[in-house]
Structure 1
């Protein structure tokens, strides 16, 4: 229920945020066009408002939110252990031993070498510069692992970097399974956030001229569409718990991801209009209006992505390491973001002929893969859930 409430508040805030450029133009008369290479004033003011709101929200959280003390968390852990009698194997922690530092050193050397070789390949074959994000990131990952292993081997097993790397490499089984789901889910989301405007303006509105009125009209409509899916997510968030009680959290999340994936793919097929004059109505449903339909499926997926994986994960983690593992879990939001930002541009230009709609469809396929991956997730809080090997 807590994570569903989180989906509600995120969705509600995003409704306003997504519609801000449209509101700036239609309510306050701020221009949504600008010369090539210049950000339109309506977008600038939207970012100013968003930045101020973000800062105020962080300040409010810092000064007004209560955080449980380590003693309180230990009390929760003791109570939980008494209730479950160690029945959840995934809650057992793997001790950090100094002798295992060499494995991290070897792992670090391997990934650093692979990252450097890949970086050299991008340079000598003159591939797109954004691929450096992936190759250099791979090398940095190796360096971090190497440093953690070196510190661990010296006996400093309680050092922060050692603990984070160790817990990352020894994640609970349920967390590993959910990491795969998160990876493909968020890859799809970032594909949507990056390419929806380009896909809709070119595929639906028929223009790629970013300085044209038609393009910016399409971009503003995308903002409204994003407000619609966020609004629907805020509403349907309250139905996630009842749906999970009737079926299971796994089933609800898988169905939501399938709905989201098919909706992203379905945008490709929305470039037609429906004339209702044949049924006595002097009205035409245009292609942009039809895009509201896939936004409902995307909103369902968005609400579930913000709630279900975290609800399932929370039951598999030791209470005293809840914060650390939740932080590590966010790696599987950041990593697909990096890959989407660096690889999708390359794929769009070189494989899809510059057609952003195909990158959007690729995101839809990734979301369906995430749905299929839910089959392998063990929801340890679900007593009827069979434990997969």
Structure 2
């Protein structure tokens, strides 16, 4: 069997470079979707239901794209056609999302915003999934820690810029951060325009700088026989035969992504209430929009810390093992979330973001590095797509329960939801030690 050739640093960099732009757009969505929907008239307790569009789209889209891309080959390659197609739709949705108020004559703006949100997130998922599989396709096992760490670095570099962009446009370039009721501030609108442009440019770098291995060569590298190439299994047979490691990682993923969903939905109202003392349900005041811009900054901060930690992760994983690094990172995330309750100055939230950033970096890379070593090469795409169930599922549960928990137990005070997120991260850290990392010793 021929061995996959090792790639240079810049070849690995180019494979994942498009993720910088995709995450730029995803960061804008994470930091501003609740704000946009609130500006358009969505009720605070209903925000988790709007956000359900994101994991539901991932649940549907990623397994389909993974399955189909395993069986695709054209002149662009196996994964690259889906990366490019998803990026084009994402760009268009980003241009439309902040302009939902323009359709008031024929559709409620908040409904249009929710539809475009679903379209945008669905197209992000079309692009996300092949990037994960592409690293596993192109890199030998001993380079995957590095490959997914570079991917994590680029994701977070894009997220830093995307998160802080509305703040920069407002405070450094004088773009208005206020808007009449039912409309979105110009700072957010222009941020989405810029994000859409950067997304497509960065994806084009990956498409033109990466050459996937043709089917015959790929099969030889991956030791896939002709009989295996012809073998066809139903989705349900594939699902039932998933590796044990994948099931174990699913438990960790549940607690990690349950927490992340709560963070993305509730950080803006939590910060506005806890630090700016805005009343529950007040989403139109200047203070709320100021808090929203600051949330963009702290989201940018956790992405920056995640990018920096991504640089160190391959070395730490080699020294301590992937499981230890993964567990300690989730513990850091727990401390980051819980600390937010005890702070009184919003500037100090940057410190909380150190722990959350460390956790985020590990969540973006460690499970995929561990999982890719346990998966059969010929089903890499579909299994990576199925693995998205462990990302989308906990978010759906979090979305269904979040509003009820907030209203029933915390009287609308969103800061307490972030403590719930911290507890969930702690449970994830504990669950890591039950994961079987079958190639740990080789890394």
Question: What is the TM-score with the length of structure 1 in the denominator?
Answer: 0.71
| Closer/same/farther in 2, CA of residues 212 and 333 from structure 1, 3 Å limit | same
Shifted more, 338-347 versus 166-175: the winner is 338-347
Question: What is the TM-score with the length of structure 2 in the denominator?
Answer: 0.62
Which of 233, 237, 250 in structure 2 is aligned with 1:179?
A: 250
Distance 2:198 2:389 in 1: 25
Which of 364, 367, 372 in structure 2 is aligned with 1:309?
A: 367
Pair 1:197-2:268 in alignment: yes
Q: 5+ residue gaps in structure 1? A: 82-94, 96-156, 272-286
Distance 2:284 2:251 in 1: 40
Measured after TM superposition, the shift of residue 250 of structure 1 is 0.2
Measured after TM superposition, the shift of residue 335 of structure 1 is 1.7
Partner of 1:113: none
Q: How does 1:199-238 map to 2 (within 5 A)?
A: 199-208=270-279, 209-238=282-311
Shifted more, 200-209 versus 189-198: the winner is 200-209
Pair 1:259-2:332 in alignment: yes
Measured after TM superposition, the shift of residue 226 of structure 1 is 0.9
| Closer/same/farther in 2, CA of residues 20 and 235 from structure 1, 3 Å limit | same
Measured after TM superposition, the shift of residue 12 of structure 1 is 0.7
Pair 1:290-2:348 in alignment: yes
Measured after TM superposition, the shift of residue 306 of structure 1 is 0.9
Measured after TM superposition, the shift of residue 32 of structure 1 is 1.3
CA RMSD of aligned residues (A): 2.3
Counterpart contact for 1:73–1:319, Cα < 8 Å: no
Counterpart contact for 1:200–1:222, Cα < 8 Å: yes
Q: 5+ residue gaps in structure 2? A: 1-145
- The 3-state SS of whatever aligns with 2:175 is coil
Distance 2:188 2:182 in 1: 13
Partner of 1:344: 402
Counterpart contact for 1:191–1:360, Cα < 8 Å: yes
Partner of 1:328: 386
Alignment deviations for residues 268-291 of structure 1 (CA, whole Å, 9 cap, x no partner): 1112xxxxxxxxxxxxxxx11111
Which of 369, 376, 379 in structure 1 is aligned with 2:427?
A: 369
Measured after TM superposition, the shift of residue 163 of structure 1 is 2.7
Distance 1:315 1:346 in 2: 39
Alignment deviations for residues 204-254 of structure 1 (CA, whole Å, 9 cap, x no partner): 121143222222222111111111111111111111111112211001000
Which of 141, 147, 150 in structure 2 is aligned with 1:2?
A: 147
Shifted more, 56-65 versus 253-262: the winner is 56-65
Counterpart contact for 1:76–1:319, Cα < 8 Å: no
**Count, aligned residues:** 293
Shifted more, 59-68 versus 307-316: the winner is 59-68
Structure of higher CA gyration radius: 1
- The 3-state SS of whatever aligns with 2:431 is helix
Distance 1:380 1:302 in 2: 23
Partner of 2:186: 41
Measured after TM superposition, the shift of residue 348 of structure 1 is 1.3
| Closer/same/farther in 2, CA of residues 42 and 264 from structure 1, 3 Å limit | same
Distance 1:237 1:173 in 2: 27
- The 3-state SS of whatever aligns with 1:306 is helix
Distance 1:204 1:321 in 2: 49
Alignment deviations for residues 47-102 of structure 1 (CA, whole Å, 9 cap, x no partner): 222233333444544454322333233222329x9xxxxxxxxxxxxx9xxxxxxx
- The 3-state SS of whatever aligns with 2:367 is helix
Partner of 1:31: 176
| Closer/same/farther in 2, CA of residues 37 and 342 from structure 1, 3 Å limit | farther
Which of 142, 145, 166 in structure 1 is aligned with 2:237?
A: 166
Partner of 1:103: none
Shifted more, 290-299 versus 39-48: the winner is 39-48
- The 3-state SS of whatever aligns with 2:222 is helix
Distance 1:212 1:68 in 2: 54
Shifted more, 181-190 versus 17-26: the winner is 181-190
